[in-house]
Amino acid sequence: MIATLTLNPSLDYFMRLEALNVGRLNRAIETAVRPGGKGINVSRVLKRLGVDSRAFGFIGGFTGDFIRRFLAEEGISAEFTVLEGLTRINVKISADRETELNGAPQPISQEDVERLLSVLGRLNAGDVFVMAGSVPASLPPDIYRRIIEKLPAGVKPVVDTSGRPLAEAIAARPYLIKPNRDELGQLFATDIQTVEETVLYAEKLLDEGVENVIVSLGADGALFMNREAALRASVPQGQIRSTVGSGDSLVAGFLAALEKGMAPAEAFRFGVAAGTATAFSDDLCTAEDVEKIWPRIALSTIREKRH
C-alpha cells in the first residue's frame, strides 16, 4: 500500500485574471476550488494513474470537511486527524505571473501528534509512506524524522519537503527524497548552477544513507540516483500552464510505476512524464496526459553502478 501524509493541508482557491492590478478591484475570469497540500496531491495523482492510496494528515472546520468530501468523491481513502479550528485557505492567482496568498496553518499540539502516530502505527512492512509539504510552525522542524523513527519496521519513507525538516529527515535514511535544485543547494549552503554540481551533491545524500534521490530541475528535466545507477531525464518543450503540483506528480508517477512492476529507470521516466503533464495542465495530470508525454521523455546515463 501507498500512504500519504499532509501536515499542512489547505483549501486552494484558484483565480485566473487577465492581469493582476495591485491596489485596485480585480475580477476573475475563471475560478476553481480544490484541496491543497503536497501529500494530498500525490494521492490524487496516484488515483488518476490507477493506484490506490490512503491519505493521512490534519484537518479541521468546514474547509477540512470540504477536503474530506472532495477526496471521497474521487475515490480516495482518507483517515485524517481532526483538529479544532479551520484548515487554512490559500489563494492561487494566475495572471501575467503566478501569485500565491497562503493562509496560516492550524495549531497542532503534541496530543494531536500522538493521535496521528497511533493511526500510522497500523502501517505494514513494505508499505510506502509519503511525507510531503511544509511543516506548520506549531510542530518541531524534526517532525518528519521523528515520525520515520516511530514507523513500523519495513515501511519505506518518502520525504518531499525543504530546509531543516528535510535535513533532519535525511538523518533517518529515508527510502526516497525529492528536492528541487534550489532545495538541494540549501541543504549544503551552496548555490548549485550546473547539472554536474547537482550530481555531486546528490551523491553526498547517498553517502548519508538515502536510498534513492530524485532532483527536479524544472525545464532542464530531472535526475535519478541510487547506488545502482544515475540517470538524467530531459523533458519536451511545451506551454507551462502552472507549476503547482508538478513535483508531487513526479513523485506519484514514480511510485505508481514501481507499484505496477516497472524497473526504477522506467518508473523515473514515467514520473517525469507525470510531472511534465501537470506543468502543461491547469490541474493535476491525467493518465491520458502522461501516456502522451511518456514516450517523449529521453533518458541518459550519468554513471553506471556505484562501487
Which residues participate in catalysis according to the annotation?
A: 248
Q: Which amino acid is at 236?
A: P
CA distance 225 to 238: 26
Phi, psi of 172 (to 5 degrees): -90, 5
- Please give the C-alpha separations between residue 182 and each of 16, 129, 193, 247, 262, in angstroms, as whole numbers: 27, 24, 9, 13, 29
In degrees and rounded to multiples of 5, residue 69 shows phi and psi of: -65, -40
Q: Are strands 156-160 and 128-132 parallel, antiparallel or unpaired?
A: parallel
Does residue 29 sit in helix, strand or coil? coil
Cell 516497472 belongs to 262
At CA 125, angle to CA 38 and CA 45, rounded to 5? 25
Q: Rounded to an integer, what distance in angstroms lies between the CA atom of residue 233 and that of residue 119? A: 37
Alpha carbons 272 and 236: distance in angstroms, whole number: 11
| 266 contact partners, CB below 8 Å, separation of at least 6 | 257
* Long-range pairs for 256-264: beta carbons < 8 A, 24 or more residues apart: 256/45, 256/46, 256/49, 256/50, 256/51, 259/2, 259/51, 259/128, 260/50, 260/51, 264/212, 264/224, 264/226, 264/228, 264/229
